[in-house]
Structure 1
């Protein structure tokens, strides 16, 4: 049995199925994905780094799906967004894609203090405040502190509502982060009834699955275009690849200050990713 070395230095058995699923998410057909995954397993040495496997996956995938060359790894693409305001806006748009009514961030008064929240979301008769946590390193874990702080804010806002200070009746909190959660963070959130969406948590509706289900990829997923152009598009509010892919290039160029030819390049590559 071969082992792979993860970014944190830990080792785990090589998982051919995981490689195959990654290839299929890139748009590679099942037959080719099975063949490529098998070939990679046979070719890599024991202890190979997962980053090296991903490079091999992308190289092989580009042969059968050229559009893969236009796509950055999703975890890295999320990390490339600035925490404020781009990732916060990205999360608000993503939640709307999944049926939430979302208002922009504001300051809510609790019984004992004021709290700046990144959004207020409503769905199925429940109202929660949204707190967004973004890490530049996609491998950094999100820990317990965010959940503990959210719990305290929920209590203060609920008491503030009963005292007539908070205009919104808050039922709970929804934390959204771009990285994995520590086991302690998961246990605390589950115990306290705090919604917590991380890269792969919860299993049924995590950040990755929510993005892929609705093709709500960040604009930073587009590779091969000017990074300054991508950053300016995101800063102008075009945080989703499909906003650029199917938007009015002239209007986008005017709002963002990005030359129209560069907007068209990003749009074309975004469409190739979305339609692969």
Structure 2
């Protein structure tokens, strides 16, 4: 009989070997070693085991095969450590730019009936989106329906304002980006009204989890040792991804951020290990 595991929200679900394998690979462990790691983890698996304990096992066993695993924290938790503004807004802009979008900073769009401040403008495949960013510190919290309703209203108002000559810039669609999973209701509403909704694991072909693991777009908060002061000073300089961090030497980072160079040497070394996985 399939063992049941307890998710972070307290609900039960059947143990899924494929999910565990995917997490192992996301830690940079080679395919042939991943099979060995999952087999060793399953020796300790029991009915009612918490998913967070499985993740802890993945890190413990995984670092035997990939030492850099020890320098990495949980990706979802790391993104949750960002502040909504400006940290997560900048991070979403970097994610989209790294995924083939032309990205512009947020602006105020004039609609027929009001002004709307949006977090970014993104263009891809001939479609212009306004981007609404939703961040939750608790990475297990669902993103609900309200954001979709607001986005739909903004699209309609801005398009009508453009028709009436109130502005010289219009948008085709709305895009909502959240660091958490979407509720079933939110997914249905977004699909019905053609709102592009990017969440932690949605849609299947373009989600935050996939963007982070397939490109050098890991958040700086993923690096062990990056504390609140470091994060704040780095973000002030526009550095929110590991790739952006590694564009500078420790000496340059220390001068830019007024942080000790010895700390930057450690952080850069750990960042290099994360990117080279």
- Output the TM-score relative to the length of structure 2: 0.95
Q: Secondary structure at the match of 2:43?
A: helix
Report the counterpart of residue 275 of structure 2 in structure 1: 274
Instruction: Give the Å deviation of 1:172.
Output: 1.0
The separation in 2 between residues aligned to 1:67 and 1:230, in whole angstroms, is 21
The separation in 2 between residues aligned to 1:36 and 1:192, in whole angstroms, is 43
89-98 vs 191-200, which deviates more?
Answer: 89-98
The number of residues matched between the two structures is 276
* Structure 2 counterparts to residues 182-197 of structure 1, below 5 A: 182-197=183-198
Q: Secondary structure at the match of 1:169?
A: coil
Structure 1, residues 215-249: CA drift from partner, whole Å, max 9, x if none? 21111110134443234223431101111123233
Q: 1:78 to 1:200 in 2, by over 3 A?
A: same
Instruction: Give the Å deviation of 1:252.
Output: 2.1
Instruction: Give the Å deviation of 1:144.
Output: 0.5
Q: Secondary structure at the match of 2:64?
A: helix
Report the counterpart of residue 158 of structure 1 in structure 2: 159
Report the counterpart of residue 110 of structure 1 in structure 2: 111
Residues 108 and 157, structure 1, Cα contact 8 Å, conserved in 2? yes
- Output the TM-score relative to the length of structure 1: 0.96
Report the counterpart of residue 204 of structure 1 in structure 2: 205
Instruction: Give the Å deviation of 1:44.
Output: 2.3
Please provide the CA RMSD for this pair. 1.3
Runs of 4+ deviating beyond 6 Å: none
Residues 71 and 270, structure 2, Cα contact 8 Å, conserved in 1? yes
Structure 1, residues 146-167: CA drift from partner, whole Å, max 9, x if none? 0010000000000011111122
Report the counterpart of residue 48 of structure 1 in structure 2: 49
126-135 vs 234-243, which deviates more?
Answer: 234-243
The separation in 2 between residues aligned to 1:233 and 1:38, in whole angstroms, is 40
Unaligned stretches of 5+ in structure 2?
none
245-254 vs 111-120, which deviates more?
Answer: 245-254
The separation in 1 between residues aligned to 2:13 and 2:51, in whole angstroms, is 10
Report the counterpart of residue 18 of structure 2 in structure 1: 17
Report the counterpart of residue 144 of structure 2 in structure 1: 143
Report the counterpart of residue 9 of structure 2 in structure 1: 8
Instruction: Give the Å deviation of 1:34.
Output: 1.2
The separation in 2 between residues aligned to 1:225 and 1:117, in whole angstroms, is 29
Q: Secondary structure at the match of 2:63?
A: helix
* Structure 2 counterparts to residues 28-39 of structure 1, below 5 A: 28-39=29-40
The separation in 2 between residues aligned to 1:79 and 1:184, in whole angstroms, is 23
Instruction: Give the Å deviation of 1:39.
Output: 2.2
Report the counterpart of residue 61 of structure 1 in structure 2: 62
Report the counterpart of residue 180 of structure 1 in structure 2: 181
The separation in 1 between residues aligned to 2:147 and 2:123, in whole angstroms, is 21
231-240 vs 145-154, which deviates more?
Answer: 231-240
Q: Secondary structure at the match of 2:202?
A: coil
Q: Secondary structure at the match of 2:100?
A: coil
Residues 199 and 207, structure 1, Cα contact 8 Å, conserved in 2? yes
187-196 vs 40-49, which deviates more?
Answer: 40-49
The separation in 2 between residues aligned to 1:4 and 1:163, in whole angstroms, is 56
